[in-house]
């Protein structure tokens, strides 16, 4: 009995030792493979880059250059100076996909967006979510009942044409996805880098154009002539911008301000229909809510553009913000905030047209 028991223990120990050796060998292989990839495709300094990749001299390290597509794709899960550029807009893309699917499944309402933005923090099992406090401070933000919006969000909703709303969502998704793709795979080759940059510029242009569709279509639904004038005008400006930016020379870093000027000119075109719309609808109760959303959008986009042009904060401390906190990442975050603010405005436009018909 003792001999049999000892033999069993010995076999178990040998198996355990064998499993440990297998795990150890696998771990060594993974580490060896990782070191091999790092050796074959190291992250470079700015001065080691080919000329076509030199875009921001204030970001000094952690560049990928001439990487195969496979390695470029898997770099999504590693740290380099494009990691957060990819993830900020990739997460934004996923958010807008979710919003699109949700709105396809039921008629979108302003209350849905309020519920998304309103957070409750229950601190006790018996607490009421709408009357909770944080560190003894009452909940101060309840957008659903914000009197500044001055609108009847409980009014019955009539089905309004929704395609302009989804045009905006589609344009936003295309822009965010093309941006993420550009930042992820732009390190592959000069040819692909140029192609993806042009796709990125087209994506930005499409997002700006499609952002005009909900407000122009719904506000001027009873005046088709103004729909045609304003939507035709922004589409023509977008076409000119795309044709201009498809010139390879304009993709270089020295034309950063010029590109920003073209995009800002498209956005500022919206001031004309905005003044027209406010004048025509001055006494509409939804006016204040729409102005809040659109002002938030404008401030977000303009602030992000200023970071993009000035390259602050990395120009103050070159090398300090290589991985996180540099201007392009901040620009991406403001783009997401602006797009979400415009989404809220689009819901108000859609609900407004569902409640108020043409007289």
Please state the separation of Cα 106 from the chain's center in Å: 24
**Bridge partner list, 137:** 134
pLDDT of residue 228: 95
Known binding residue 191? Answer is no
Q: How far apart are CA 254 and CA 242, in angstroms?
A: 18
Q: Return the axis-axis angle of helices 163-185 and 83-105, rounded to nearest 10°.
A: 160
pLDDT, tens digit, 9 for 90 and up, residues 154-183: 444 445 788 999 999 999 999 999 999 999
pLDDT of residue 137: 34
Average pLDDT for the chain? 80
Is pLDDT above 60 for 316? yes
Known binding residue 332? Answer is yes
Indicate the pTM of the whole model: 0.78
End-to-end Cα spacing for the chain = 99
| Of 3-12, 36-45, 134-143, 343-352, minimum mean pLDDT range | 134-143
Q: In order of start, what are the domains of the chain with their CATH numbers?
A: 83-115+149-355 (1.20.1070)
187 in Cβ contact with 193 (< 8 Å) = yes
Tell me what the mean pLDDT of segment 202-209 comes to.
96
Kindly report the number of other CB atoms within 10 A of residue 35's CB atom.
10
Reported as a pLDDT band with limits 50, 70 and 90, residue 130 is very low
Known binding residue 276? Answer is no
pLDDT of residue 100: 94
């Amino acid at each position: 009995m003792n001999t049999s028991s000892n033999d069993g223990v010995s076999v178990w120990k040998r198996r355990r030792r064998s499993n440990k050796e297998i795990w150890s060998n696998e771990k060594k292989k993974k580490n060896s493979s990782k070191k091999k990839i790092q050796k074959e495709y190291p992250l470079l300094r700015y001065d080691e880059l080919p000329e076509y990749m030199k875009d921001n001299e204030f970001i000094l390290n952690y560049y990928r250059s001439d990487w195969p597509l496979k390695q470029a794709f898997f770099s999504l899960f590693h740290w380099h100076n494009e990691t957060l550029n990819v993830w900020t807009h990739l997460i934004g893309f996923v958010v807008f996909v979710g919003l699109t699917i949700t709105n396809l499944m039921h008629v979108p309402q302003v209350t849905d967006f309020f519920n998304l933005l309103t957070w409750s923090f229950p601190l006790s099992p018996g607490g009421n979510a709408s009357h909770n406090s944080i560190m003894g401070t009452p909940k101060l933000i309840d957008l659903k009942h914000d009197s500044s919006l001055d609108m009847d969000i409980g009014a019955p909703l009539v089905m309004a044409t929704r395609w302009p709303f989804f045009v905006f969502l589609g344009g936003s998704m295309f822009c965010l996805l093309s941006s993420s793709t550009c930042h992820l795979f732009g390190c592959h080759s000069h040819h692909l880098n140029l192609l993806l940059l042009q796709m990125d510029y087209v994506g930005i242009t499409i997002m700006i154009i499609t952002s005009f569709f909900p407000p122009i279509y719904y506000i001027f639904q009873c005046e088709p002539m103004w729909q045609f004038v304003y939507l035709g005008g922004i589409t023509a400006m977008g076409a000119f911008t795309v044709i201009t930016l498809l010139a390879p020379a304009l993709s270089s870093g020295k034309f950063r301000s010029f590109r920003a000027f073209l995009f800002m000119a498209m956005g500022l075109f919206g001031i004309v229909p905005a003044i027209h719309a406010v004048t025509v609808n001055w006494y509409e109760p939804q006016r204040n809510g729409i102005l809040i959303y659109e002002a938030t959008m404008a401030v977000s986009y303009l602030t992000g553009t200023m970071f993009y042009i000035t390259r602050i904060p990395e120009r103050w401390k070159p090398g300090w913000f290589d991985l996180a906190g540099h201007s392009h990442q901040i620009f991406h975050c403001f783009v997401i905030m602006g797009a979400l603010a415009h989404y809220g405005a689009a819901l108000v436009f859609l609900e407004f047209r569902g409640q108020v018909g043409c007289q």
